[in-house]
Every structure is written in structure tokens, then in C-alpha cells.
Structure 1
Amino acid sequence: MEYRPLGSTNVLVSSLCLGTGNFGRSDAAPGNWGATDEKEAFRIMDAALSYGINFFDTANVYGNFGPGTTGDSERIIGRWFAQGGNRRERVFLATKVSRVMLDNDFDGPNTRDGLSLWKIRRHVEGSLERLQTDHIELIQMHYVEHRTQWDQIWEAFEGLVRTGKVDYVGGSQFYAWELMKAQASAQKRHFMGLISTQHRYDMTSREAELEAFPCAIDQGIGILLFSPLRRGALAVDVLEPDDRPLNDETVQFIETHRPQMTEYATLCHDLGHRVGNVTLAWQLAHPAVTAPVIGPATVRDLEELVESVEISLSDEVMAEIDRIFPAPVGHFYGGPAPEMRPLSWA
């Protein structure tokens, strides 16, 4: 396994981060979130440690199937930690806060996506209980919060850091200007601010190359990639499909990009590597990227994906991937840089 510093922290984490969004209930439809039961989740986490993966990512809302199930993924991880064997000590643990928890009457009128000091404190305490730990290495904001002043948000996270319940703070889906606004506010408070942020980044979604990635490099912010394989779509070999189930969203993505996916699969065949592994190797080649957050549903998935860290793509191969999946046009040449998502005040 390869290890990289997470932003400016000088903490080395594995260049593949184990995502746990699939951990949930056994009756979920194959190919959908939550389709990995607890027994297989335990096997995946044990295998991840054996491969040298020390970076685990979860969220308080993973396993959100309805009232009474909120936080199921964190509970599974907590029960895995409770088995002992230095499992907790060997993991750099990341979770998230911001989204709606479905427990009945938990937040009352505040049952909505968003952040406040009140909500951050309550939700982090809940995560600590479910995860059966007294601290979290990295707490991440699931989304940017536009309704709350940064001073109040930093007040919440600073308190958690000062009391030892949290080590570091990260974000997710921030624009470059939002990263800078967060860092400027933290600097005024003499607080470290964001040390990481999560982004959507793959061959078909490369807008982060224009502003977010250069900003992150400049500010010493590590980049983690959520859903780097597009729910498995960018791991599908359209020339030799296997028997793993795909949900409707993934099937639609493949059909939309079938000409490119066909050329890409041909390139991967020529290289002698699995499609998903080439995708991860291409992402890891970007200097801004610390780790893609992979979400294996089975141990078999994990065993295949770890091979990606051993792949080095030549300049010629990188140029061919650029030809198949063209890079975005810079704003100096083609108008404003596209934004990743619309702002929402709902």
C-alpha cells in the first residue's frame, strides 16, 4: 500500500480510503447502498487492514433506511472495533455531519440538512456513541452551510478539537471560493481550518481541475474523492461485463457514455489491467488527490481494487485518456469555470 500525507497534517494515510456507504442491511437491493450485511462488512474491514488500508470513511447518515436505522453503518464499524485486536488503534477514522438523521423526533424542527453549533455537537456525540470510540480523527461537513456564519461553525469544531473528541476538520463539495472563505475565517481565529475536502472527480467530471484542485494544493488541503467509480460504472468492462448487479442509475450512465466506455475498455485491455483499477490509478496520478474513497460491497471487490495502487500510467496513456475523456476548457478560454452544483438555501 502507498501512503500519502493528508493535506498539511503530516499524517500519512493509505492512498485508498475504505468507504462504508454499502454497510447496512442484508435485504437491500443488490447494486444499491446498504447491500452489504454486517458479516461481510466485518470481512471487508479485516481485509482492508491486511492490505494496509488505514483510512476509513463513513457518515452518520449511512444506513439511513428509515426511523430506527439511522447510523447503521457507524454501528457496524463500532461493533467491529469492539472485537479488539487493535482494530481501533490501526484506523484513521473519518465521519460526517450535516445531513438529516431519520430517528423519530431527534432534531425536532431542525430535522433538515444543515449545520449549527447545536447540531454539530449533538450529532458528533451520537457518532462517538455509535462508533464505540472516544474520538474521531476527521469530522467532515457533508455540505457547505450558507445559512450559518463561519464563526459559529468554527466555534463548534474548535470545541471538539480542544476537548480531544476530534482531531481534524474536513469538508465536502466546496467550491474554491468556499475553501478560501473557510480558511480565512479559521485563520482569524488562529485555528487550523480545513485539512481536507471531498470532491466528485472522474474522467467524466473533471471541473475540479479548473479551480478547486489548484486552490487545495495552494492551501495544503488534501483531496478525497467520493464515489470515484461512479457507483461502479467506471469499473465496468463493457467488452467483457461480469455478473455483478448494477442499479438503474449505473446502467443509464454506461449507456450515456457507451462510445467512450468502449474505447476506454479497449485501452484497459491493451494495458492488461481491470477498468476500475485504471480509473483509480488515473485519479491517483493527480497531485491534488490524497485518496479515492472506494466503496467495495464485497471482499472480492476490495481484492480487485487494491491492485490499482501498483499501476503507473505513462504519459502516452494519460494523453489517450484525455483524448477519450477531454479535460474541461479553462475559464480564460471558454467562459466562467462551471460550478459543481447549484447553491441551495432550502
Structure 2
Amino acid sequence: MEYTHLGRTGLSVSRAILGTMNFGPETSEDDSHAIMDKAHESGVNFFDTANVYGRAIAYGTTESIIGRWFAKGGDRREKTVLATKLYGDMGEWPNSGKLSAYNIRHAIDASLERLQTDHIDLIQFHHIDRATPWDEIWGAIEVAVTQGKILYVGSSNFAGWHIAEAQEAAKARHFLGLVSEQSIYNLIKREIELEVLPAAQKYGLGVIPWSPLNGGLLGGIIGKEQEGKRRLEGRSAEYVKDHREQLEAFENLAKEIGHAPGEVALAWLLHQPGVTGPITGPRTMAQFDSAVAAVDVTLDADALAKLDAIFPGHKPAPEDYAW
């Protein structure tokens, strides 16, 4: 396994990141525990979750599954860099979500209880809260850091200017501020190259892409459809209908490179500047194994150029749309 520092911090994290969104609703607790054990065996030390994950069953389901895994002992917690998120509503009562000081305090305490741990390594704001001032947010976070409940702070789904605003407010308080940004980023969805990636690099944030296979579209969907292994429905069917030639070109290139399409798509992200590592949310052990294998895939300049030709990206703003 390869490791890198998370943004400008001294924290070492694996370049393969285990996402847990499917634990509970799609993956049984026993299978979830087995995947987490395999992650440690493979050298994966960075696990990502959120307080809202598993809400199809009940609020906090996924965190509770992870907490019961930690409770098995064997240095499971000590070997894990644990990231979770807050923002989403955890109930119908007022102040059960967003980034008020009130909710930050209650959300962190509730996550600690479900996760059966005394601290969270990386707490992430799941979305920007336009109604709460940064002085309130950072004040609440500073208290949690002082109490030893959290170590680092990250953002998710922020615009570039949100990152700048957050960091300038933190700087004025002589506080570290954000150390990571979790955004949708893959060969198909490359909008963060306009402003989010430049902002993250400017302020020293590690970028953690979510949906690295764009809902499975980059996981060999054409081949699976032809083999009868996947039935296309809804938005996936619509996208394939409109972009079949593009996806076929990608899957043919993956064959030429000698790796599965999903591994090539993940490896491409690992070759992008500022990317810490992609989050993969496996439902099965086989999906996890494929995600880990991507760390060892090397793409040369020719392969990267061909991928850019199939899925054109963006230059940083404003050059992308102005002189």
C-alpha cells in the first residue's frame, strides 16, 4: 500500500480510502466487518463514513456498525484514521443538522457514542451552511479540538470560494482550519478542476474524490451490459445511450492498458495533482479488492493523454472560459 500525507498535515493515510456508505443498507454487518478486516490486512488505514449513512435503516446505522467492529479490539481503532461527517439532519426536531455550534457539539458527541471511540481523527462538514458564520463554526470546532474529541477538520462539496472563505476566517483566529476537501471527481465529472482543485492546492488541502466511478459508469458498464451482468435503468441508461462511443473507447483503452476499467479510472485519479486518494464504497469483497489493486496501476503519459482525449477536462478558471 502507498501512503501520503493528508494535505499539509503530518498525518499519513493510505491512498486507497475505504468508504462505508453501503454498510448496513447494502452490505450486511458481518460482511462489512470482513471488508474492514481485509482493509487492514491490505494496509488501508483511512476509513470514511458519515453520521447520516445507513439512514434507510435508521439514523447512524453505519457508524454503529463501525463502532461494533472497533469494539472487537485487536488494535482496530488504533490502526484506523477515522473520518466522519456532520451537517445532514439526524431527526425532524430543529437544530438536528447544519453547522450551528449547537449541532456541531451534539453531532460530534453522538458520533463518538455510535463509533465507540473517544475521538474522531477527521470531522468533515458534509455541505456548506450558508446561514452560520465561520466565527461560530470555528469557535465550536476549537472547543472540540481542545476537548480532544477531534483532531482535524475537512470539508465536503464546497465551492472554491467556500474553501477560501473558511481558510481566511481560520487564519484570522490562528487556527489550522480545513485540511481536506471531499468532492465528486472522476473522468466524467471534472468540474472541480475549474476552482475547487486550485483552491485546495493553494490552501494545502488534500482532495478526496467521492463517486470515483461515477455511479459505476466507469466500472466497465458496456461490457457488463453485453454480458448480461448489469441492467441499465434510469440516469445510467440515459447516459450510456448518449455517450456509448465514449464509454466504449474508454473500455477499449483499459483493455489496451491491461487493467479493468474501474482500476484505470481509480488510477487516473491517483495521478492527478493534489489528490490524496479516491473513496470507494464497496458492497462486496471483490469490489474492495479491485479498488485496492488500482493503487499499483501506473499510467504513462500516453495513457493519460488518451484518457484526457476521451474525457476532456478543464483548465483552472478563468482561463477555461476567458482569455
Task: Note the aligned Cα RMSD (angstroms).
Answer: 1.8
Q: Does 1:35 align with 2:20?
A: no
Q: Distance in 1 between matches of 2:32 and 2:296?
A: 25
Is the CA contact (8 Å cut-off) linking 1:230 and 1:250 kept in structure 2? no
Report the AA paired with residue 272 of structure 1.
Answer: G
Report the AA paired with residue 195 of structure 1.
Answer: V
Task: Show CA shifts across 1:3-52 (max 9, x none).
Answer: 0110111111000110000011xxxxxxxxx2111011011101111110
Partner of 1:239: 223
What's the secondary structure of 2:277's corresponding residue? strand
2:250 to 258, 261, 264: 264
Is the CA contact (8 Å cut-off) linking 1:233 and 1:251 kept in structure 2? no
Partner of 1:27: none
**Matched ranges for 1:172-211 at <5 A:** 172-211=156-195
Q: Does 1:277 align with 2:263?
A: yes
Q: Give the Å deviation of 1:229.
A: 1.2
What are structure 1's unaligned runs of at least 5 residues?
Answer: 25-33, 337-346
Partner of 1:229: 213
What are structure 2's unaligned runs of at least 5 residues?
Answer: none
Q: Distance in 2 between matches of 1:182 and 1:152?
A: 11
1:53 to 41, 44, 51: 44
Q: Distance in 1 between matches of 2:231 and 2:71?
A: 32
Partner of 1:80: 69
Return closer, same or farther for 1:81/1:331 CA change in 2, 3 Å cut-off.
closer
Partner of 2:12: 12
Is the CA contact (8 Å cut-off) linking 1:61 and 1:70 kept in structure 2? yes
Q: Give the Å deviation of 1:254.
A: 3.3
Is the CA contact (8 Å cut-off) linking 1:93 and 1:137 kept in structure 2? yes
Return closer, same or farther for 1:246/1:3 CA change in 2, 3 Å cut-off.
farther
Q: Does 1:62 align with 2:57?
A: no
What's the secondary structure of 1:257's corresponding residue? helix
Q: TM-score, normalising length from structure 1?
A: 0.88
Return closer, same or farther for 1:148/1:82 CA change in 2, 3 Å cut-off.
same
1:140 to 116, 119, 124: 124
Task: Show CA shifts across 1:200-220 (max 9, x none).
Answer: 111111121122112211211
Q: Distance in 2 between matches of 1:280 and 1:172?
A: 19
- Number of aligned pairs? 321
Q: Does 1:3 align with 2:3?
A: yes
Is the CA contact (8 Å cut-off) linking 1:8 and 1:222 kept in structure 2? yes
Q: Distance in 1 between matches of 2:38 and 2:237?
A: 29
Report the AA paired with residue 54 of structure 2.
Answer: G
Q: Distance in 2 between matches of 1:11 and 1:334?
A: 34
Give the percent of matched residue pairs that are identical in Structure 1 and Structure 2: 44
Q: Does 121-130 or 173-182 show the bigger shift?
A: 173-182
Q: Distance in 2 between matches of 1:99 and 1:185?
A: 23
Q: TM-score, normalising length from structure 2?
A: 0.94
Q: Does 1:101 align with 2:87?
A: no
Is the CA contact (8 Å cut-off) linking 2:195 and 2:317 kept in structure 1? no
Report the AA paired with residue 171 of structure 2.
Answer: Q
Q: Give the Å deviation of 1:271.
A: 1.1
